[in-house]
Amino acid sequence: MDILSNSINQISSQLQIAWQAMGYVWFLVLPPIFYWFFKFLWMYHIQTAYWLSLDWMLLEIIPPKDIEKSPKPMEALFVGMAGTEKSFSVIEEFIQGAFPDSFSLELYSDGGEVHFYIRTQKKYRHLVEAHLYAQYPDVEIVEVPDYVNEVPKIIPNKDWDIWGTDFEHTKPDPYPIRTYVKFEESVTGKMIDPLASLIETMGKLAPGQKIWFQMVIAATSPTWGAKEGKKVLEKLKGKEVKKEGIFERMWIDIKDIITSIFSLGVLDGEVSLTTASKKEEQPLDMRLSPGEREVLKAVEDNIGKLFYSTKMRFVMVGRRQNFDKTFVSAFIGGIKQFGDENLNTLKPESPSKTSTVYWFTKSRLRYKQRKILRRYRNRSRDGVKMTLSTEELATLFHLPDMNVAAPALPRVEAKRGGAPANLPIE
């Protein structure tokens, strides 16, 4: 018993000495041990401080009444925004917490009244206004209060309910979605505005119901398309290079030897080519089907544009007494029109959807609902992201033409004009 007691006392005293020593050197020992954990906490701390230091504003974009332009002019805005892309030094990134500047493109419906918003830092207001006025001289741009403050910060509660989801691609990002150039009637050649169905859906909301649609975008490097698109193009051209292990390489060599033996025309002195070899020697146009050629051309056209890292999310929030989730299905159905099964499609990301099954359903559902509301309010880029080209962004966010006759869509009634040249000045 004395031996056991002495052993416990010795261990206790040694732990006490070690703890005291750790008190002097913990800041040298613990960071290397918990490097990744420390880095995560540090980056979260400094990036949060950097984010809170930024000065934001919300601009409402009121489209002209008689606009007849396609979404193409909107690309000029996104090309101009791409000028905000920059690389950061080590001090800026890991000491100051700097990260790429972002913008938020938002569609908002309040009881059927639809609004277009761009959330930007105040220092970029002139950039946004200059490019919009250049393409739409009669557009009206006004600073407005943030509409997310019209609802409680904590939802669901006894009076309010919410449903939301993030969106993701079904294929790699270089594959484009269905863009506005494909929304043309084959007979008349007239373009059908791709936002028409979404605006009509949002315009039919009942009072007390709100739909929020958000795309938080940050410009990528100008070389992103060439770098990431090359991998997809090589695959489409049948030149994909696979990483092979030792045993896979040995098995391939054995198969090549056996294939070579049976493919050699030994008796008549001629060498016959395998089907694969013949196919590889054929011109690219001969190897690809018409559909494959169209996909290849679409990807090549897409990767030649500028790209934005994009966080896309949808939220419906409203009073419980008339909360109608059929509008969720209608809105997501409108998003599906931008999909092309041969190219790319937008779909709700399952883990982010505010629905649960199996166990602890109520508590898990409440957590997911409050998380997506918090991220929307903060314009957070956390979670799954996509990379969209300027053409794809212009398709998803542009000023609708005059044929979109939603009665709840505010429009500029009078054209803007300058003062007369002969106006007397006192």
**385-407 confidence digits (pLDDT tens):** 999 999 999 999 998 876 665 55
Confidence of residue 268 (pLDDT cuts 50, 70, 90): very low
pLDDT score recorded for residue 143? 94
Instruction: Please choose, from the candidates 392, 407, 307, the residue with its C-alpha nearest in 3D space to the C-alpha of residue 71.
Output: 392
Please tell me what DSSP assigns to residue 235.
Answer: H
For 34-73, give the DSSP string: THHHHHHHHHHHHHHHHHHHS-EEEEEEE-BTT----STT
Choose between 130 and 64: higher pLDDT: 130
Please check whether residue 214 is in contact with residue 376, taking contact to mean a CB–CB distance below 8 angstroms: yes
> CA angle, corner 132, sides to 131 and 137, nearest 5?
115
Choose between 255 and 131: higher pLDDT: 131
Confidence of residue 263 (pLDDT cuts 50, 70, 90): low
Please check whether residue 312 is in contact with residue 107, taking contact to mean a CB–CB distance below 8 angstroms: no
pLDDT score recorded for residue 373? 94
What sign has the CA pseudo-torsion 417, 422, 423, 426? positive
Please check whether residue 372 is in contact with residue 164, taking contact to mean a CB–CB distance below 8 angstroms: yes
Confidence of residue 283 (pLDDT cuts 50, 70, 90): low
pLDDT score recorded for residue 291? 79
Q: What average pLDDT does the chain have?
A: 82
Choose between 9 and 144: higher pLDDT: 144
Please check whether residue 219 is in contact with residue 78, taking contact to mean a CB–CB distance below 8 angstroms: no
What sign has the CA pseudo-torsion 379, 122, 109, 202? negative
Confidence of residue 269 (pLDDT cuts 50, 70, 90): very low
**Which amino acid does the sequence have at 231?**
K
**Which amino acid does the sequence have at 316?**
M
Is the model's pLDDT at 424 over the cut of 80?
A: no
What sign has the CA pseudo-torsion 238, 239, 245, 250? positive
Q: Which residues of 8-21 are buried (b: 16+ CB within 10 A; e: fewer)?
A: eeeeeeeeeeeeee
Please check whether residue 364 is in contact with residue 371, taking contact to mean a CB–CB distance below 8 angstroms: no
| Report for 115-124, 130-139, 231-240, 400-409: range of highest mean pLDDT | 115-124
Where are any strands of DSSP class E within 99-208?
A: 103-110, 113-121, 140-144, 160-169
Residue 69 buriedness (CB in 10 A; 0-12 / 13-18 / 19+): middle
Is the model's pLDDT at 44 over the cut of 80?
A: yes
Q: What is the pLDDT of residues 340-372, one digit of tens each?
A: 888 999 999 999 998 887 888 888 999 999 999
Strands 56-62 and 160-169, sheet pairing: unpaired
**Which amino acid does the sequence have at 146?**
D
Please check whether residue 188 is in contact with residue 182, taking contact to mean a CB–CB distance below 8 angstroms: no
Query: The pTM is what?
Result: 0.79
The percent of residues above 90 in pLDDT, for the chain, comes to 37
Instruction: Specify the range with the lowest mean pLDDT, choosing from 51-60, 87-96, 140-149, 406-415.
Output: 406-415
Average pLDDT over residues 370-385: 92
Please tell me what DSSP assigns to residue 421.
Answer: T
Choose between 257 and 295: higher pLDDT: 295
Average pLDDT over residues 129-151: 92
Choose between 382 and 241: higher pLDDT: 382
Q: What is the pLDDT of residues 143-176, one digit of tens each?
A: 999 999 999 999 999 999 999 999 999 999 999 9
